[in-house]
Amino acid sequence: MTVDEERPFHGPPRPDGGLLHAAAGQLQGMFGVHRQLDQVLYESAKRVGGVEFESIFNPISPQTIAAMPRMDAINHDQVFLRSSAMSAADTEAALGLLEVLHGDFAVPNIAAFVEFTNREKLFERLANGQSFILVGSHLEFQDVGFNLGYLTRAAHQKGFDRLDTRTTLMIGRLLGYLEVMGLNVIDDILRKAANVLKTFPVSGGEAVNEGDITNEDLNRRVKAFRKRQNARTRAEFMNLMTSNHGHIVIEAGSGSRDWKDANGFVVMEPFAPGTREDLYLAARAGAVIYPIFGDYGDRTAPSIVEFGPEIRHLDSPNHAHTIGQTIASIGNRARGAASQQHPEVARFRTPIRYGNYET
């Protein structure tokens, strides 16, 4: 056999080493991106704290991150994770955390969602093919998950015991690096009650801080990877919103929790550009949007749960800022009323405003 015959397909010499060499380079780049995301998100997970209350979260262990095969929760090639409950007992075990974390106050929280879903005939409309987006406040890291849990409790009371097949929680990938009471937040808790649609927030406290990546080439690849995956997230989101089966998407409006300013007032992080675009496109596709103010307490402090009017039309993506402003307005009214009933709860006397943004 001649030297030429040894070359693949008898073609010209390949200075790059051929297909195997190229594949090896792609794999090295892919795993480099994954390892970098692990490092950045794990460091962020270690800094997660509470605002009004002590944090309920702990970071997962380095051994969990290194384990193979990778958990779905931290597998960045996966975007849409289907609900994983094998039985009603699996779902109930996850929902049991509501009573563990809120004690007797879980009962009025469930009642708030029951009243809302009955008034709006939410589940009946869902069964008939209407899709919904529930956009919540985000003072504590866990608030969006609580909205899911209490909505599921309300569905069970109405006899809808498989809401997980029609409900998707849209959350930042940082949640995969956190656990509660030894349970991974995504794989062991949230996916027992809903599908999970993972996103890379591009602003706020849950965003990947690419400034921490000092290798310029790796930084470029991380940005490109994040952009591709977020495009997949939007495609999956729009698949849900345009399906002839009704779906519920639950999300917060920003990739960052609300925060407190120098005066101690709560400032809602303005809705991120991608979220505003999603809401605008979903409304155009016929989805109904409900703002939710969920000011959740703990076992010693009551919660406030209030719902805004349905929104069927947005003039533009920027018009979605009005949803955040509505949540802040609802929150101020609700806190004012609650402070009269519970004068001992200091947070009910704290004003809320929607943050500044460019029009």
What is the per-residue pLDDT across 17-74, written as a single tens digit (0 to 9) for each? 444 444 434 444 445 888 889 998 999 899 887 778 888 999 999 999 999 999 999 9
The amino acid sitting at 335 is: R
In this prediction, residues 270-281 reach a mean pLDDT of 93
> What is the distance between the terminal CA atoms of the chain, rounded to a whole angstrom?
70
Question: 268 or 152: which carries more pLDDT confidence?
Answer: 152
d(CA 248, CA 89) in angstroms, rounded, equals: 22
In this prediction, residues 113-119 reach a mean pLDDT of 98
Average pLDDT, the chain: 88
What band does 284 get if pLDDT is binned at 50, 70 and 90? very high
Report whether pLDDT(345) > 90: yes
Q: At what angle do helices 273-284 and 216-241 cross, to 10 degrees?
A: 20
Report whether pLDDT(7) > 90: no
Query: Do residues 305 and 335 touch, judged by C-beta distance below 8 A?
Result: no
Tokens found for residue 243: 């399906």
Lowest mean pLDDT among 111-120, 136-145, 286-295: 136-145
d(CA 61, CA 191) in angstroms, rounded, equals: 20
235: left (phi over 0), alpha (psi -120 to 50) or beta: alpha
pLDDT of residue 258: 75
We find that the CATH architecture of domain 19-354 is 3-Layer(aba) Sandwich (3.40)
In this prediction, residues 121-137 reach a mean pLDDT of 97
In this prediction, residues 333-337 reach a mean pLDDT of 97
Domain residues of the chain, as ranges? Answer: 19-354
pLDDT of residue 339: 97
